[in-house]
Structure 1
Amino acid sequence: MWWLTRVRSHSMTPTLTDGQFVLTRPLRPTHAVGRGDLVVLDSPVEPDQHVVKRVVGLPGEKVTFDAGQVSIDGRPLPEPYASRSVFRGNYQVPAGEYLVLGDNRDVSSDSRSWSRPYVPRASLRGRLVRRGAVSSRLPATWSGRAN
């Protein structure tokens, strides 16, 4: 059954605004999760709370942040929806887990700031159903793998 999720922060601005309600569909274990999906997940910092984030790193990928540019396995990731950030760091996403970020990078509490940065597949509860949100996956021409 689908439900309404209320966005409760500015971490997804400008894609989503604080207080906005967005239709959400369940993310069953058999459903694929793709880069760019906007997902509802169990909050890793607030018990019994959910947060909305964007899937950026998929299982097995190396995600690098270098002063505003995100790269996946050495290849720059186009992110027209995200604000630039001064953050730098490297993450190796384990099998069965994901790296998630807010679009408003320098104000978002997300994988980069959580004590356990990777989100298990079982913690992903739903995918937002919103024009421009679900369809904001990268074009098929972006393979995500270094040449």
Structure 2
Amino acid sequence: MNFALILFIALVVTGGIWLLDVLVFRRFRDKDVREPLLVEYAKSFFPVILIVFGLRSFLVEPFKIPSGSMMPTLLIGDFILVNKYTYGIRLPVINKKVVELNSPARGDVMVFRYPADPGLDYIKRVIGVPGDLIEYRDKKLSVNGQPVRLDNAGTYSYVGNGLSYVTAMVYQEHLNGVGHTMMAEPGKPSVYPPQVMDFPYRENCSYNAEGEGFACKVPAGHYFTMGDNRDASNDSRYWGFVPDQNIVGKAFFIWMNFDDFGRIGNTIR
């Protein structure tokens, strides 16, 4: 559901009714006659919709985490806020960038429209920026030939699909000198080649047939993303690169989790 489009339509309808009443219908109505109910509602809702539309389009937008692909950083049920202007100001609905600001950096947690179905919003971590050579072999990441530092941080257990109990190794992964948590399950392949889609710039990637790893060269105007829960994430390994025009914003804050109030107020790293 394109909520931005729904808000825009509501804004145009309520604003149009209010404007028509001011310019046309009010002239033919006696001063002591009450405004039509439709006009009253339009005048009441238009300012509220305008504020919500403006905030959501240009400042911050709320999202709810629906899956465990970003565990342990983000959990199912986390309600997060996304900064809409840090990567540039974009026109609402059509998502066209009109003001250039910052570009996504390695390590950012980014919300974007899923390239294979732009009606869906995805959240992943930026691993590669335009021009980067990304390699992921035996659960170890390299960027432009340089191994990314990994520090062991223990284990993390959770209930996975089919109510199976999963225990994964947790690491501090350092991209651009900033650490973040990620986890991987021992014994699982780094990638499942049969699940790789035929995506744009597929020729930029090479996959090991046994699932030991892959290498991808990030094309201009695109980004390579992966989930922090590496072995339970549907990400750029499988459906390719994120075009700049699909970017929604940078996730930065957890404002609610009804299952764990202790997560409220946590910043996203």
Please give the TM-score of this superposition, normalised by the length of structure 2.
0.47
Within the candidate set 105, 123, 131, 1:60 is matched to 131
- In the superposition, relative to structure 1, how do residues 72 and 125 fare at CA in structure 2: closer, same or farther (>3 Å)? same
- In the superposition, relative to structure 1, how do residues 45 and 95 fare at CA in structure 2: closer, same or farther (>3 Å)? closer
Give me the whole-angstrom Cα distance separating, in 2, the residues matched to 1:99 and 1:124.
12
Instruction: State the SS of the aligned residue for 1:81.
Output: strand
Where does structure 1 differ by over 6 angstroms across 4 or more consecutive aligned residues?
Answer: none
Within the candidate set 229, 247, 254, 1:104 is matched to 229
1:93-140 residue CA offsets vs partner (Å, 9 max, x unmatched): 0111110010001110000011xx11111111110113552xx3xxxx
Within the candidate set 15, 19, 23, 2:77 is matched to 19
- In the superposition, relative to structure 1, how do residues 84 and 24 fare at CA in structure 2: closer, same or farther (>3 Å)? same
1:126 — aligned with what? 249
Give me the whole-angstrom Cα distance separating, in 2, the residues matched to 1:118 and 1:46.
13
Give me the whole-angstrom Cα distance separating, in 2, the residues matched to 1:45 and 1:67.
27
Amino acid at match of 2:220: A
1:81 — aligned with what? 181
Bigger Rg over Cα: 2
Please give the TM-score of this superposition, normalised by the length of structure 1.
0.83
Amino acid at match of 2:78: Q
Give me the whole-angstrom Cα distance separating, in 2, the residues matched to 1:35 and 1:47.
23
Tell me the number of residue pairs that the alignment of Structure 1 and Structure 2 aligns: 132
Instruction: State the SS of the aligned residue for 1:54.
Output: strand
Unaligned segments of structure 1, at least 5 residues: 137-147
Higher relative CO (Cα under 8 Å, sequence separation at least 6) belongs to 1
Shift in Å, 1:6? 0.9
| Paired residues of 1:7 and 1:51 also in contact (CA < 8 A) | no
Instruction: State the SS of the aligned residue for 1:113.
Output: helix
